[in-house]
Structure 1
């Protein structure tokens, strides 16, 4: 299922809402002009549009988004790149606990967050354009328990020379500069002749661990993979790195990257559309532009959504099987399946997943029996999720300790989806 915006069970501070749990959700479609029955069928209470409290949230689709501009092309390209970045669970199916950093990398400086030390300066000096990074670990009952984890990143440069030079400079830094955790030792992996590898053993609260860095130049891209495990599982780290590189190369080759001006004969190529598949117009916009951090106000595919999910394999599988090719991420999240049955499948699958986490039913918003809501008390407060299904569309809203606001969000989302193009 998708990530949450502010919920403590997730690992991203700003994100799309998750689906409600423990409730079988039916489709909400009806003939135009007819009163809409609730999800319980013809005998369920009808939606009372006049009773809906939408607060200040918009109740109509947004104007269509234009193409990216020079001001947001880095964010848009990074969001598109997410679909072509291998997710940790694809490297090892047990890597399902999302961690930071998982994000669009809007400049070379962001690499400092991923690798540390002077990595950000090295990438920036080599004019890294943008990238995407995904991080996950195995689930453990306690944070001090031994676990395995992976970081997988794709960094785009203006040319192969800068990508290769960055790999060499990063390898030199890792193997000569002590960033406080010791210096890594250069090694080689037989099956990765073009990859620069270094390893390091350190002590942590979970015991002695071994970590492996791998830098693989790949045309205009630098593939960065990192794996960590208990010291006795060094073989696992080598296998994880090899799997990451073997999957990432072919996947990035399929990415339809925006050509640079130099690559396009000295003239700027037409920029991609911000709203892939015209789905973002149906999500409630994020009010705080700074909260997006390059990741929200986006249209992601199944893999892109899985990076930001509390159950990545489930998210990827369900969205793929239902044909939900692009999914809108803003203040709310909107999915569009290939058909009505697909939307109900999305709702049912994600609902069952949240039910297993202990969420319980909460009252639907006034006038909107079709919306299903759930709550769960956590150390940070009460999490609230609401969802509504309308034909091929699924809308989600979430919040913390403010059920009234979540009710307003999902009520506004319902009215927007009433106007959505079911034949898109």
Structure 2
């Protein structure tokens, strides 16, 4: 990595989650290309291994933690990406939890969380958006963590207490006022190009963290640049977050886990799979938070008319029509310098499989994409046969969910 990573910095190590979410634009179909009809498939001839091939009913949350997760997922649809705030932030790290109940999973690398529960005892759930201007810690890191609380007063109190906790982490921290946001509680270190800000808006608290690796490496400090970027972030976030209607905390157990049957037609996650975020359903453009290329992902989503995105044991996208789904399939299954083509599954020749040949040690090796009707799906595995079985089962799920 370019520079030594500070103890509180967000790691930039590329993992399986990052590679599995990469959108490849090289082999993409033209957005207005006519949809070719895929050949009919006899589902009985597909090798689906032990994976589910029938859709499932996903009903009301089973417990309070599930309700908190669903509420945090709902919030995610209203959180802009860093690229929405500033187009320089195009390098994301999906290895950081986006949906969280445990602050350690999402914030543990950038702030002290050992007393988080004491400072914010009625925290419900949160959604994190993060990106860098350059890969490998060579630019600026931006993290926006949005947290839900039962009411405005509890959010305001939490913002104050969390800033007090965070302020005490380093002896050199000094208070700082964010232009245009006098109610924000913020601090910086005069000898480092870093800032942390807590701002309460309605039931929500927005934690904005900026860290400029390059300027720190060059031993340069630009206080105004930090302030301007923090204000720009809040100027973008706050109006969008005000569109979010929080669920009353006594109604979290009534939340539905699915939307329009999307999760029901998505391959369930095998128990042995590692995971960062829980299964969920989001608006189409929210998928940009879960990819290493949010700009190209946004273009593909817009051109294909993707309105819903589900993630579990596979990623499933609902496009406006067959052509849109095929457009997404071709993006997901397309090749770049880091991938080479792999064999399609038996009796599913229009599925697109590929092998990762890059240098990242922890990357998952095999990926497959397919589409059916309005839906495109993407799976991943360390073994080609398993990836082929997963995409075959996912295709059968899409067909059987008609």
TM-score (norm 2): 0.83
- In the other structure, the counterpart of 1:408 is 389
- In the other structure, the counterpart of 1:106 is 101
**Pair 1:67 & 2:60 matched:** yes
Give the distance between the partners of 1:282 and 1:302, measured in 2 at CA.
16
Listed as ranges, the gaps of 5+ residues in structure 2 are: 1-11
Give the distance between the partners of 1:20 and 1:314, measured in 2 at CA.
8
Determine which of 235, 244, 266 is the counterpart of 1:283. Answer: 266
Quickly say closer, same or farther: Cα 1:53–1:359, change in 2 above 3 A.
Answer: same
Give the distance between the partners of 1:319 and 1:361, measured in 2 at CA.
24
Give the distance between the partners of 2:275 and 2:355, measured in 1 at CA.
25
Equivalent pair of 2:96/2:105 in contact (CA under 8 Å): no
Give the distance between the partners of 1:358 and 1:321, measured in 2 at CA.
25
- In the other structure, the counterpart of 2:300 is 318
Listed as ranges, the gaps of 5+ residues in structure 1 are: 1-7, 31-35, 38-45, 203-208, 262-267
Quickly say closer, same or farther: Cα 1:420–1:146, change in 2 above 3 A.
Answer: same
Quickly say closer, same or farther: Cα 1:23–1:66, change in 2 above 3 A.
Answer: same
Give the distance between the partners of 1:287 and 1:68, measured in 2 at CA.
19
Give the distance between the partners of 2:176 and 2:23, measured in 1 at CA.
45
Q: Which moved further from structure 2: 105-114 or 301-310?
A: 105-114
1:66-92 per-position Cα deviation (integer Å, ceiling 9, x unaligned): 122433101111112111122111122
1:254-273 per-position Cα deviation (integer Å, ceiling 9, x unaligned): 11321123xxxxxx477232
Equivalent pair of 1:20/1:374 in contact (CA under 8 Å): no
Give the distance between the partners of 2:328 and 2:254, measured in 1 at CA.
32
Equivalent pair of 2:24/2:336 in contact (CA under 8 Å): no
Question: Secondary structure of 1:397's match?
Answer: strand
- In the other structure, the counterpart of 1:40 is none
Equivalent pair of 1:153/1:223 in contact (CA under 8 Å): yes
1:351-394 per-position Cα deviation (integer Å, ceiling 9, x unaligned): 5xx53443222111111111111112234377211111112111
Give the distance between the partners of 2:345 and 2:63, measured in 1 at CA.
41
Quickly say closer, same or farther: Cα 1:53–1:155, change in 2 above 3 A.
Answer: same
Equivalent pair of 1:16/1:331 in contact (CA under 8 Å): no
Give the distance between the partners of 1:269 and 1:9, measured in 2 at CA.
35
TM-score (norm 1): 0.79
C-alpha deviation, 1:110, in angstroms: 5.5
- In the other structure, the counterpart of 1:139 is 134
C-alpha deviation, 1:292, in angstroms: 4.4
Equivalent pair of 1:15/1:296 in contact (CA under 8 Å): no
Equivalent pair of 1:18/1:398 in contact (CA under 8 Å): no
- In the other structure, the counterpart of 1:3 is none
- In the other structure, the counterpart of 1:221 is 204
1:223-272 per-position Cα deviation (integer Å, ceiling 9, x unaligned): 111112123454332222111111221111111321123xxxxxx47723
Name the larger-Rg structure.
1
Quickly say closer, same or farther: Cα 1:298–1:365, change in 2 above 3 A.
Answer: same
Give the distance between the partners of 2:118 and 2:304, measured in 1 at CA.
39
Aligned residues: 378
Give the distance between the partners of 2:119 and 2:164, measured in 1 at CA.
16
1:195-214 per-position Cα deviation (integer Å, ceiling 9, x unaligned): 12211256xxxxxx410111
Give the distance between the partners of 2:231 and 2:23, measured in 1 at CA.
35
Give the distance between the partners of 1:9 and 1:213, measured in 2 at CA.
23
Question: Secondary structure of 2:59's match?
Answer: coil
**Pair 1:420 & 2:401 matched:** yes
Map 1:75-114 → 2, pairs under 5 A: 75-99=69-93, 101-107=96-102, 113=108
1:24-61 per-position Cα deviation (integer Å, ceiling 9, x unaligned): 6799986xxxxx62xxxxxxxx6454442111011221
Determine which of 347, 351, 369 is the counterpart of 2:349. Answer: 369
Equivalent pair of 1:97/1:137 in contact (CA under 8 Å): yes
Equivalent pair of 2:20/2:367 in contact (CA under 8 Å): no
Determine which of 140, 152, 167 is the counterpart of 1:160. Answer: 152
- In the other structure, the counterpart of 1:53 is 47
Give the distance between the partners of 2:109 and 2:157, measured in 1 at CA.
18
Question: Secondary structure of 2:163's match?
Answer: helix
- In the other structure, the counterpart of 2:6 is none
Give the distance between the partners of 1:69 and 1:27, measured in 2 at CA.
43
Map 1:289-328 → 2, pairs under 5 A: 291-293=274-276, 295-328=277-310
Question: Secondary structure of 2:91's match?
Answer: strand
Give the distance between the partners of 1:91 and 1:372, measured in 2 at CA.
34
Give the distance between the partners of 1:303 and 1:212, measured in 2 at CA.
28
Question: Secondary structure of 2:87's match?
Answer: coil
**Alpha carbon RMSD of aligned pairs, Å?**
3.0
